[in-house]
Structures are given as structure tokens and as C-alpha cells.
């Protein structure tokens, strides 16, 4: 979909989209168009009893004499109730409607009742919603009839009273949307295509945006004594990697570190998953995908921040070399972990990557993302990610940014009482405590590898893949977290 911006003008083709609020007259230019058509738009609205609830639509065939094909009324609901997330969602809903109607060209007129000078930011937010919804993963389809339904319109013109300001606001949003799409592409790839080395290779284009890419391979991991991460990879023919993505846009300030779990396929290892639970494990690298998409977004919009992204890339498979239940592994930090369940592997990967990031980069803050536990899905379902943090300020920032972007988080507890559940009789800790408090004890283990650095862990198992469908995403892989963390950086870590 190509999105462009213009001032308020009469479109010459396609569909014209007009916004309507409950019990309010049409905006000035829409009223003029209604009068020109003999009041047909108003009559259609009245006959259809169109109440203008948010994201409701009334499709009107354009009257004779107009070069347009149709006029679509879109309800905003109460304009006072609209926030950033709702405007973006409304843009996504419009994209879905245009695809349903097979509209090739559309004009989105951003006029709202008597307020003809609505902020340009709203036009950009609507355009962001259009862009986020405009995603389909069809690389492996060979027949057009299997394409899964109508596509998005080829072009949308967003009209605004301040098109230049809207265009500037959208430029940043478009960079973020491209990062989301990049993350979705990575998550949706089949596991026979996207294994650790291939994931690392997909990062190379980020260098053109100014991201320094460094790939740590087995010999590097062995040199750093990353026994936990290497243990997870021991049963796979695919070599493990750590991808390090560095972006410097913030002077001499210490970086903010973002760390993603990148298990490109998780069979469970010797603690083998049941078949019904294994299909979606191609998405067990969604945390790493988010970090990659975030780094692309930050670099593309030239964020004034120093940021480093790390992805621990492994495949968890069973064979004669695989780590066994009962094994004890030694992490890079020197701490030891008793492996009770080889399907609790993500925390082993993150333990080494967290310590490596802390030791090498001395970051101002760390945020990790991982499809870590089924327990968080039981607790929160598919609408919130679990948030664990050792720093109240960082937790509050993430909660606020989640509300603004619609990528919401819910804070879960960390406490010494839970910490005791992972104490081991033969090692410093064990990698699982059983069914009770599973998401919490996984976070408690990770907390042992971050010291006093402000740190937040996002358990995204419920939201990252096969999650709840939203107006801005119909993809299996959601690309969840890119917008949340970009907003965190923009609001709290960029230099002014």
C-alpha cells in the first residue's frame, strides 16, 4: 500500500472516506459534497440509521455526476474518547474494510465535525494503522487462488489541513511500521528456512541503516564459557549464534540494551513436547525478531539514542548429544543451573546473553523479551504480556507506553519467596519449579543475571504469535513489542 498526503481537495477516483461522529453533522467539505448530490449522503445515513459507533462503516455508491466509485462513512464514536491507540486501530479497521470491498484507490479525508484543523498527528496515526494492517505473508504460496482473500488497496491519499506536518509525523511512524513488518516476516518464516545462521544473515541489511552487526559463533560462545546457551544447542545440527546489533545515535551516553530469546525451533529437547504443542514453536524466536525490528526502526528514524540489541539464536532438538534432565550447566557468570526440564530452555539462553550484555556494554537499562512460559498465557491470555521488573520506574514507563501503543503489559510479582522455589540441592539454581508460579520463577531465575541494573523482562508467549487478532494485525506472527519499545526509547531515553 502506498500512503501519500495532501491538502483537502476533491478526489477524482476511487473511494472517498469521510468521518462521522454520533449526532454531529458532516464536516464542512463533506456537507458541501452532500449538498452537491442533492442530500443523498445525508439521506443514506438517515435511512441506514448509521449511529457512527467507532469503526462502524456505511458504504454508499457514489451518485451520478461524481467521478468517485463510492463514499464510505466511518464512525469515530465520541471524539473525546479517542486516544492514540484508538486512532491507529481505526486506521487498521479502515484498511480492512477497503480490502474487503476490493477498493484499489482511496482518499481518507481527515476532517472531524466542526473541527477542520484537527492535529496533523491524527492523520499520521490513521496512516500508521493503514500501514500496520497492510501485511500478508505469502512467500510460499504458488497459486493466486490460495491468496487468502482480497488484498489491501494499492494507494491511499490521506487529506489533512496540514499535510506537511502530517507527512513529517508519518515518516517516523512508517519507520516503526517497517520494523514491525520485518519482525513479522522473521516470525512467520518456517523453521527449515529460518534457523540460527539464517536469522543472523537476515540482519545484514540493517548495516545500510547504520546498525553495526556482529555475529558470535560457537568458538566465541565457547571462549566466553556460555555453558547454558551451548547446552540448549547441543542436540541440534544447527550451530548456535548470538547476534549483536549496535546503534549509536546518542553521543556518549551508555546504551539501552534489548535482548531477545531466539529459539528458532523448540522441540522441547529430550523433554519432548506433545505434537499439538510443537507446531507453533517456529515462533519461539519472536523476542529476537522484535529486537531486530526495533533496531531497524530506531536506525531508520535516526533515533537520538545509543542502543544495543542482542539475540540468542539456537535450535532446541533431541539427539544423543542433547542436554539431559538432571544435567548441571555452568553459565558465563559462573553460576550453575540444574536442568530439570529441557523444555525450560529459553531462560538458559537468556541467562548467558543477559550476563554478556551486562559485562560488555554496561547498559543504562535492560529489557528482554521472550516467549518464555505457557504459564503467562494461562494468567493473562492473549491481550497482555507479562511484565517483571527490578525497577519501579522502568516498569511504570513500560506500562504507560503499552497503553499508548496498545501493546499492553501487566506487572507480575518478583519476591524472595518465589526465589526459593528455584533453589537447587546440587547447583546454584534449577531451571524450573514445576507448575506453580511458572512465569514468576522463570523471571526470578533471569533476575540472578542482571545485578542492580534496571531490568525488565517481558514474557510475550501469549501475544507474540497466534495471538488475539486486532485491527492492526491479522498475521500469525504479530511483531509484538516493536512499537512498545520504540515508544519507550522515544519518550524516556532519547536525547532532546
In the numeric block, the cell 458532516 is attached to 26
Q: Is residue 167 annotated as part of the catalytic site, yes or no?
A: no
In the numeric block, the cell 505473508 is attached to 137
Look at residues 219, 9, 15, 175 and name the one whose alpha carbon lies nearest to residue 106: 15
Distance (Å, whole) CA 373 – CA 388: 13
Q: Are 455 and 372 in contact (CB under 8 A)?
A: no
Strand 328-330 and strand 455-459: the pairing is unpaired
Helix (H) or strand (E) holding 199: helix 196-202
- 336-338 sheet: strands from edge to edge: 328-330, 336-338, 429-430
Q: Can you read off the three cell numbers belonging to residue 387?
A: 511484565
Burial class (CB in 10 A: 0-12, 13-18, 19+), 254: middle
Helix (H) or strand (E) holding 445: helix 438-447
In eight-state DSSP terms, residue 115 is B
Distance (Å, whole) CA 349 – CA 443: 13
Alpha carbon 235 to its chain's center = 30
Catalytic residue among 70, 202, 238, 273: 273
Q: Is residue 474 annotated as part of the catalytic site, yes or no?
A: no
Q: Can you read off the three cell numbers belonging to residue 452?
A: 542492580
Between the alpha carbon of residue 371 and those of residues 4, 63, 241, 459, the distances in Å are: 36, 52, 18, 6
Classified as helix, coil or strand, 346 is helix
Distance (Å, whole) CA 406 – CA 133: 14
Catalytic residue among 45, 131, 184, 347: 347
Look at residues 57, 66, 60, 17 and name the one whose alpha carbon lies nearest to residue 42: 60
Phi/psi for 102 (5° steps) reads: 60, 45
* Other CB atoms within 10 A of residue 424 CB: 15
Distance (Å, whole) CA 104 – CA 223: 56
Distance (Å, whole) CA 179 – CA 447: 28
Q: Are 349 and 229 in contact (CB under 8 A)?
A: yes
Phi/psi for 205 (5° steps) reads: -60, -20
| Residues taking part in catalysis | 273, 347
Amino acid at each position: 500500500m502506498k500512503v501519500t498526503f495532501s491538502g483537502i481537495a476533491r478526489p477524482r477516483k476511487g473511494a472517498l472516506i469521510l468521518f462521522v461522529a454520533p449526532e454531529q453533522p458532516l464536516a464542512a467539505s463533506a456537507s458541501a459534497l452532500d449538498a452537491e448530490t442533492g442530500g443523498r449522503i445525508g439521506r443514506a445515513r438517515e435511512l441506514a440509521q448509521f449511529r457512527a459507533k467507532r469503526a462502524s462503516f456505511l458504504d454508499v455508491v457514489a451518485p451520478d455526476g461524481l467521478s468517485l466509485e463510492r463514499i464510505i462513512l466511518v464512525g469515530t464514536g465520541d471524539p473525546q474518547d479517542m486516544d492514540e491507540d484508538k486512532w491507529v486501530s481505526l486506521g487498521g479497521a479502515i484498511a480492512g474494510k477497503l480490502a474487503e470491498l476490493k477498493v484499489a484507490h482511496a482518499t481518507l479525508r481527515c476532517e472531524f465535525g466542526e473541527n477542520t484543523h484537527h492535529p496533523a498527528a491524527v492523520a499520521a496515526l490513521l496512516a500508521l494503522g493503514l500501514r500496520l494492517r497492510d501485511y500478508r505473508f505469502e512467500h510460499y504460496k504458488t497459486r493466486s487462488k490460495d491468496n487468502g482473500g482480497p488484498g489491501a488497496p494499492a494507494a491511499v491519499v490521506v487529506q489533512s489541513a496540514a499535510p506537511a506536518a502530517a507527512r513529517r509525523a508519518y515518516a517516523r511512524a512508517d519507520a516503526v511500521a517497517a520494523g514491525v513488518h520485518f519482525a513479522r516476516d522473521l516470525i512467520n518464516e518456517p523453521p527449515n528456512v529460518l534457523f540460527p545462521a539464517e536469522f543472523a544473515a537476515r540482519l545484514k541489511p540493517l548495516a545500510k541503516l547504520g546498525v553495526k552487526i556482529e555475529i558470535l559463533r560457537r568458538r566465541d560462545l565457547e571462549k566466553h564459557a556460555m555453558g547454558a546457551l551451548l547446552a540448549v544447542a547441543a542436540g541440534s545440527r544447527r550451530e548456535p549464534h548470538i547476534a549483536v546489533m549496535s546503534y549509536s545515535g546518542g553521543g556518549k551516553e551508555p546504551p539501552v540494551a534489548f535482548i531477545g530469546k531466539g529459539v528458532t525451533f523448540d522441540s522441547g529437547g529430550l523433554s519432548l513436547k506433545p505434537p499439538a504443542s510443537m507446531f507453533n514453536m517456529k515462533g519461539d524466536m519472536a523476542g529476537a525478531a522484535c529486537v531486530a525490528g526495533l533496531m531497524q526502526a530506531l536506525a531508520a528514524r535516526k533515533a537520538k539514542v545509543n542502543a544495543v540489541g542482542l539475540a540468542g539464536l539456537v535450535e532446541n532438538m533431541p539427539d544423543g548429544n542433547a542436554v539431559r534432565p538432571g544435567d548441571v550447566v555452568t553459565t558465563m557468570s559462573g553460576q550453575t543451573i540444574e536442568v530439570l526440564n529441557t523444555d525450560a530452555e529459553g531462560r538458559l539462553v537468556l541467562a548467558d546473553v543477559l550476563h554478556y550484555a551486562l559485562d560488555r556494554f554496561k547498559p543504562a537499562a535492560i529489557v528482554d523479551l521472550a516467549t518464555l512460559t505457557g504459564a503467562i498465557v494461562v494468567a493473562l491470555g492473549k491481550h497482555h504480556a507479562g511484565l517483571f521488573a527490578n525497577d519501579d520506574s522502568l516498569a511504570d514507563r513500560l506500562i504507560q507506553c503499552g497503553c499508548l501503543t496498545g501493546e499492553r503489559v501487566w506487572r507480575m510479582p518478583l519476591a524472595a519467596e518465589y526465589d526459593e522455589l528455584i533453589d537447587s540441592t546440587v547447583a546454584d539454581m534449577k531451571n524450573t519449579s514445576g507448575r506453580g508460579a511458572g512465569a514468576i520463577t522463570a523471571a526470578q531465575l533471569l533476575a540472578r543475571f542482571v545485578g542492580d541494573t534496571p531490568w525488565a523482562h517481558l514474557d510475550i508467549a501469549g501475544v507474540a504469535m497466534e495471538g488475539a487478532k486486532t485491527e492492526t494485525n491479522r498475521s500469525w506472527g504479530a511483531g509484538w513489542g516493536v512499537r512498545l519499545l520504540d515508544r519507550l526509547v522515544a519518550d524516556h531515553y532519547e536525547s532532546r
